[in-house]
Structure 1
Amino acid sequence: MINIKAWFKFLVYLSLFVISFFNFTIAIFIFFILQIPIVKRSVLGKLPFNLDRKSWLKKETYKYKENLWLDLYYPKIETNNVVLFAHGGGWISGYRRQPNNVSWYRYLVSKGFIVATIDYRYGYLNEIDVLVEDIFDAYRFIKKMFPLSKVSLMGLSAGGHLALYFGLKYKPSVENIVSYYTPCDLLDIWKSSSLFARFAVSTTLKRLPVKSKDVYIKYSPITYVNKDAPPILLVHGLKDSVVPYFSSVKMYKKLREKGNNAKLLLHPFGDHGFEFVLKDEKTKDILEETIKFLRGDLK
């Protein structure tokens, strides 16, 4: 005789699985809709400078590993300084050719840097180790292509997290690391009011901090701060509604406590992605200080 109760439970679970699978994309869309101002800034924003749309000498595209691509933007002067740039998007979205990212490339190239910008796999289909592996492979690709180059790591938000985590844990040979509004301690995201931020980190880590605090600690860059870190620049807005600014403050304090060369720039009115929205002198100063830092001016 068929166990009606067990059969009914099986059908319920099966239905939930099917609905969850097919509605995953819709769920992401809903969370994006809830954060429309942030999405608008991320996708359509640009830096507060009037830059030549053809500020680079040339652009080349390479496949740095299976199904993943990398763009190289060359300045109009000869240089061996390369910035490996990782876009933001909460590990589950974003694209190397978004207008906001391209605005950064124009600015960096206009200042004499080769920019290597990459796509990496998304956290909703992959473990976070896979995303870090992509950063690692892109770095190796660049070092092989430019063996005498000075490579800097740079990232925005989730991209900044990957740059810091990779740079501090695996200790590649890099000149410095620049990280904008980054969750240096992933547990800090749960002190944010942003539903998207919480959704993104829990989707990427496949865990909630209540039961898996150790996983959040394991994948937090602040966990790997030792005395031999490369120079690090941290930038954050005090009004950040996605990643609390104190995440960068904690990171800066720990870097300094370990004797590392670190710099922290805070914008008093900056929200997440503030450099794409604000046109004030403070924003421009922060961007200019970023260029100085990348060039090796650590004062």
Structure 2
Amino acid sequence: MRFSRNATKKFALKILLLIAAVVLGFWNAVLTLLVIFIFNIPLIRKAVFGKLPTDPGRKGYARSETHEYITGRFIDIYYPDCYSHAKGVVMFAHGGGWISGYKRQPNNMSWYRFLLSQGFIVASIEYSRGYKAGIELLISELESAIKFLNGKFQTKISLMGLSAGGHLALLTASRNYQLVKNVISYYAPSDLLDIWESPSIFARIAALATLKRLPSKDKNIYAKYSPVNNVHGSFPPTLLVHGLKDDVVPYISSVKMFKKLKEQRVHVKLLLHPSGGHGFEFVQRDGRTVEILQKTIAFLEEKLW
């Protein structure tokens, strides 16, 4: 079959347009990530090199294993030395504004070592990037991970997350409360509109990249995915932690969540650090930081009430 000259030209034009779209899309993604990196250098440094003051400073686990909990997504499970007498299972969701961060990041590993040293099994999850996937897919991945762990260990799971990971943990707990023992959220945006009151350009870019809309164009999507609007009477016991000097996610976000949970008569505690910024537990080694970390363990052991 012969193609006409016009058909050939049209086909060639389509190919060129497709190549151009791919190239432009690639460079747009590179430019976006470059801007995020430039405005996020202090956070990156803190995240990569941060360490808890309570970090035992050793390997901390007897053995580990990795599972593919859904196609293309993996979960690492670390067992403490006496894992036959483990106190429970903590599923940990890393931070990074939904668009960065990774499960084996040094600061996250510091948290794992601390939790392991206190006798907990730790499961750290890998989830998609928000700028590619969108918020709903990220939540569904956490839901799949908690269902996987519930089936494996035949027990309710404690959910813990930092920043964006805390936001995802709270939303996952609201939807899967029957599988969740309790939830810990460190400096999470419980009301997504609070991010737009923050001076952090990174936080705004991350929210826009993940939700795909400005709040001035569509407040409904910000409301839909804000944990404060997903509270109900069956919500699991919750621990909220925030620094009063947080210039990425305003501490008022956790205060709002605390009040909403109280209104629903949910067991909730709010711990505030008077001089803590975003990720304060990795850089501050004062007595209040240590106290908050110890109370986090007490919460997991159900000793705060």
**When the two structures are superposed, what TM-score results if normalisation uses the length of structure 2?**
0.90
Contact map agreement 1:236 1:248 (CA 8 A) in 2: yes
State the identity %.
Answer: 53
Alpha-carbon offset, residue 16 of structure 1: 9.0
1:73 aligns with 2:78: yes
Which whole-Å deviations, capped at 9, do the CAs of 1:35-74 have from their partners, x for residues lacking one?
2111111111010125142211111111111111111110
Which whole-Å deviations, capped at 9, do the CAs of 1:155-174 have from their partners, x for residues lacking one?
00000000001111342421
What do you get for the CA RMSD once the two structures are aligned? 1.8
1:92 aligns with 2:95: no
Which whole-Å deviations, capped at 9, do the CAs of 1:3-22 have from their partners, x for residues lacking one?
xxxxxxxxxxx979854541
Partner residue of 2:181?
175
Pairs within 5 Å for 1:143-158: 143-147=150-154, 149-158=155-164
SS at match of 1:62: strand
1:22 to 3, 22, 27: 27
Alpha-carbon offset, residue 245 of structure 1: 0.3
| In 1, Cα distance between equivalents of 2:173 and 2:258 | 15
Alpha-carbon offset, residue 23 of structure 1: 3.0
SS at match of 2:123: strand
Partner residue of 1:10?
none
Which whole-Å deviations, capped at 9, do the CAs of 1:96-137 have from their partners, x for residues lacking one?
000000000000000000000001011011121110111011
Pairs within 5 Å for 1:231-242: 231-242=237-248
Letter of the 1:27 counterpart: T
Partner residue of 1:293?
299
Contact map agreement 2:147 2:179 (CA 8 A) in 1: no
Letter of the 2:121 counterpart: I
Contact map agreement 1:80 1:150 (CA 8 A) in 2: no
| In 2, Cα distance between equivalents of 1:15 and 1:197 | 30
Contact map agreement 2:244 2:276 (CA 8 A) in 1: yes
SS at match of 2:130: coil
1:53 aligns with 2:62: no
SS at match of 1:115: strand
1:116 aligns with 2:123: yes
Pairs within 5 Å for 1:1-299: 18-19=23-24, 21-77=26-82, 78-79=85-86, 81-147=88-154, 149-299=155-305
SS at match of 1:124: helix
Q: Give structure 1 stretches of 5+ with no counterpart.
A: 1-13
| In 2, Cα distance between equivalents of 1:143 and 1:178 | 18
SS at match of 2:179: coil
SS at match of 1:69: strand
Report how many aligned residue pairs link the two structures: 287
Contact map agreement 1:169 1:221 (CA 8 A) in 2: no
Distance of aligned partners of 1:256 and 1:36 in 2 relative to their CA distance in 1, 3 Å threshold: same
Contact map agreement 2:64 2:77 (CA 8 A) in 1: yes
- Structure showing greater radius of gyration is 2
Letter of the 2:242 counterpart: H
